[in-house]
């Protein structure tokens, strides 16, 4: 979902940031298992990174806020394996296997895990870029009921293209399983005052990485 | 740990999440979707191989080698991947340089995007609601909570990681480190200094002295 609780930029009321001295990589063994399962299941190619993000964003807001980070990941992964008919809802509830698995096209092996390939998201351009560095742009005011990576605080705002990043997989369609639909990606920078009003600190500038469909000429 | 280790009945000691995750791993393993040995390897990668020491080496090299720094700022993925003695990093890495005029800070307001290939997994605070909510609207307030105060007149540039591009802050080289080796300099480069919520260690700090 787009206007969901995950879109936190600019919200008040969450209190101070509390850094933890000498923080461990994982705070419990199960956190590492969740991360590993998610990476291994992501490798199957059955869903996209944005499909996973969408599964987290679709958690009920109270669940999202009251769950720890890896707890959210666990719930998101459970939802994905059920949605893709890999595991039955009844099996999640029972906590055990009730029927055999289905065949996967790709399974992460130990050798794959040793290499740990990082995914690539850039794709060949399907057409010329509409904008270049220095162009003024206005972000569109969109509120799709599905996944997007244009944060609410940066919608309908006047900014400047700072860099052209190339063509990348478009999250808004990739999340839906509707194809990669590659789009030009830009760094777009805004003044603090454009985002937050006249009271904002003039020393602040904020940039987002914006896909071309998020932008209009200004 | 291997799936077999999960068979022991410690249920009275196990938290709800331990049980839930254990059940999910058992289901995925028995259905043939995951190999527990591969899962062990992934955990090991993040616990021992991948961490901020990688980013620190990149920053230290940029401090001593102007040509490497030029290439890093032009194309960080290519520069890091082709540099001798550095591990390959992920794709779409972008290095942003702190200067006396501008201090850079990285955030992901929508989830937890972080340059994991060069810094490892993000700390809890980076993924927390307070950081994600406030860094884009009140960066000075957040930096103060990290004990960072910038000289008056410094601009603050926030990079919200809304796509698959990942940002590595190249902090300013501390004064008093002339002639230091790349290795000794790397010991000054903290994780937080590469996110923008910290500054490099002072060369007078004991940890830095020990690394010389």
Task: Answer yes or no: is the ipTM higher than 0.90.
Answer: yes
Q: Is the pLDDT of residue A104 over 50?
A: yes
Comparing CB atoms, the residue among B21, B132, B146 nearest residue A8 is B132
C-alpha distances out from residue A127 to A39, A121, A166, A186, Å: 32, 17, 11, 15
Q: Give the pLDDT confidence score for residue A84 in this predicted structure.
A: 95
Percentage of residues in chain A having pLDDT higher than 70: 100
Between CA B123 and CA B145 the distance in angstroms is 15
CATH 2.30.30.50 fits A136-217, yes or no: yes
| Range B117-130 average pLDDT | 96
B92: left (phi over 0), alpha (psi -120 to 50) or beta: left
Q: Which residues of B touch A32 (CB under 8 A)?
A: 42-43, 46-47
Looking only at the bridges linking them, the beta strands covering A136-139 and A215-217 are antiparallel
Comparing CB atoms, the residue among A6, A92, A207 nearest residue B160 is A207
Q: Which residues of A touch B35 (CB under 8 A)?
A: 40, 107-110
Q: B19-65, pLDDT tens digit by residue?
A: 999 999 999 999 999 999 999 999 999 999 999 999 999 999 999 99
Q: B156-204, pLDDT tens digit by residue?
A: 999 999 999 999 999 999 999 999 999 999 999 999 999 999 999 999 8
Where in the sequence numbering do the catalytic residues of B fall? Answer: 108, 111-113
Q: B166-176, pLDDT tens digit by residue?
A: 999 999 999 99
Nearest CA in chain A to B197: A19
| Range A54-78 average pLDDT | 94
Between CA A167 and CA A117 the distance in angstroms is 21
| Banded model confidence at residue A191, pLDDT cuts 50, 70, 90 | very high
Q: Give the pLDDT confidence score for residue B86 in this predicted structure.
A: 78
Q: A9-19, pLDDT tens digit by residue?
A: 999 999 999 99
The residue of A8, A96, A97 whose CB has the most chain B CBs within 10 angstroms, and thus the best one to mutate to test that interface, is A8
Q: Give me the residues paired with residue A122 across strands.
A: A168
Host H or E run for residue A167: strand A158-168
The residue of B29, B43, B158, B163 whose CB has the most chain A CBs within 10 angstroms, and thus the best one to mutate to test that interface, is B163
| Banded model confidence at residue A214, pLDDT cuts 50, 70, 90 | very high
Task: Identify the DSSP state of B171.
Answer: P
Q: Give the pLDDT confidence score for residue B88 in this predicted structure.
A: 75
Q: Is the pLDDT of residue B9 over 90?
A: no
Q: Which residues of A touch B129 (CB under 8 A)?
A: 8, 11, 14, 65
Query: Residue B140 and residue A201: Cβ atoms within 8 Å?
Result: yes
The residue of A180, A190, A203 whose CB has the most chain B CBs within 10 angstroms, and thus the best one to mutate to test that interface, is A203
- Check for a shared fold between A29-115 and A136-217: no
Lowest mean pLDDT, pick from A192-201, B119-128, B202-211: B202-211
Q: What is the pTM of this model?
A: 0.94
Q: Which residues of A touch B111 (CB under 8 A)?
A: 6, 53, 56
- With H, G, I as helix, E, B as strand and everything else as coil, classify residue B69: helix
Comparing CB atoms, the residue among A81, A96, A116 nearest residue B26 is A96
Question: Which residue did the predictor score with more confidence, B112 or A118?
Answer: B112
Q: B79-95, pLDDT tens digit by residue?
A: 988 887 777 787 899 99
| Range B2-19 average pLDDT | 61
- With H, G, I as helix, E, B as strand and everything else as coil, classify residue B5: helix
| Banded model confidence at residue A118, pLDDT cuts 50, 70, 90 | confident
Asked whether A104 and B29 are in contact (CB, 8 A), the reply is no
| Banded model confidence at residue B209, pLDDT cuts 50, 70, 90 | low
Q: Is the pLDDT of residue A25 over 50?
A: yes
Pairs of residues, one from chain A and one from chain B, whose beta carbons lie less than 8 Å apart: 253
Host H or E run for residue B103: strand B102-107
Residues with Cβ within 8 Å of residue A17, at least 6 apart in sequence: B125, B128, B130, B131, B134, B142, B145, B146
| Banded model confidence at residue A119, pLDDT cuts 50, 70, 90 | confident
Q: How many C-beta atoms lie closer than 10 Å to residue B6's C-beta?
A: 18
Query: Residue B21 and residue A33: Cβ atoms within 8 Å?
Result: yes
- Read off φ and ψ for residue B107, nearest 5 degrees: -150, 160
Nearest CA in chain A to B108: A9
Comparing CB atoms, the residue among B41, B50, B111 nearest residue A110 is B41
Q: What residue spans define the domains of chain A?
A: 29-115, 136-217
Which of 1.10.10.10, 3.30.70.3000, 1.10.472.20, 1.20.58.1000 would CATH assign to domain A29-115?
Answer: 1.10.472.20
Query: What strand order describes the sheet that includes B102-107?
Result: A215-217, A136-139, A158-168, A183-191, A204-211, B155-160, B102-107
Q: Give the pLDDT confidence score for residue A1 in this predicted structure.
A: 60
Q: How far is B81 from chain A (nearest CA, A)?
A: 13
């Amino acid at each position: 979902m787009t206007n969901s609780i995950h879109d936190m930029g600019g919200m008040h009321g969450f209190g101070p940031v509390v850094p933890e001295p000498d923080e461990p990589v994982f705070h419990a063994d199960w956190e590492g298992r969740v991360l590993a399962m998610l990476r291994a299941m992501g490798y199957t190619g059955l869903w996209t990174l944005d499909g996973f993000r969408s599964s987290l964003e679709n958690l009920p807001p109270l669940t999202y806020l009251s769950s720890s980070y890896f707890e959210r990941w666990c719930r998101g992964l459970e939802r994905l394996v059920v949605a893709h008919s890999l595991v039955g809802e009844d099996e999640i509830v029972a906590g055990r296997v009730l029927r055999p698995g289905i065949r996967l096209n790709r399974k992460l092996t130990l050798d794959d895990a040793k290499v740990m390939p990082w995914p690539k998201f850039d794709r060949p351009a399907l057409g010329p870029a509409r904008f270049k560095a220095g162009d003024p742009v206005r972000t569109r005011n969109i509120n799709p009921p599905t996944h997007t990576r244009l944060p609410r605080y940066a919608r309908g705002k006047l900014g400047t293209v700072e860099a052209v990043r190339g063509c990348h997989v478009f999250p808004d369609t990739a999340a839906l399983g509707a194809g990669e639909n590659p789009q030009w990606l830009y760094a777009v920078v805004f003044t603090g005052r454009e985002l937050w009003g006249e009271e904002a600190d003039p020393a602040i500038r904020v940039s987002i990485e914006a896909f071309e469909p998020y932008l209009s000429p200004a | 740990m291997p799936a077999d280790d999960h068979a022991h009945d410690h249920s009275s000691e196990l938290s709800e999440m331990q049980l839930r995750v254990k059940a999910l791993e058992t289901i995925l393993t028995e259905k043939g979707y995951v190999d527990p040995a591969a899962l062990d390897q992934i955990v090991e990668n993040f616990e021992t191989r991948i961490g901020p020491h990688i980013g620190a080496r990149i920053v230290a090299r940029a401090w001593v080698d102007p040509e490497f720094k030029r290439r890093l700022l032009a194309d960080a993925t290519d520069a890091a991947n082709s540099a001798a003695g550095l591990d390959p990093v992920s794709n779409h890495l972008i290095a942003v340089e702190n200067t006396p005029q501008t201090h850079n800070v990285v955030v992901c307001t929508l989830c937890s995007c972080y340059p994991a290939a060069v810094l490892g997994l993000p700390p809890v605070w980076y993924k927390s609601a307070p950081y994600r909510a406030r860094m884009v609207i009140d960066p000075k307030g957040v930096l103060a909570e990290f004990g960072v105060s910038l000289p008056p007149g410094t601009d603050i540039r926030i990079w919200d990681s809304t796509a698959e591009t990942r940002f590595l802050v190249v902090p300013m080289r501390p004064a008093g480190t002339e002639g230091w080796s790349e290795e000794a300099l790397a010991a000054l480069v903290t994780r937080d200094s590469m996110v923008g919520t910290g500054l490099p260690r002072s060369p007078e700090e004991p940890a830095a002295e020990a690394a010389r």
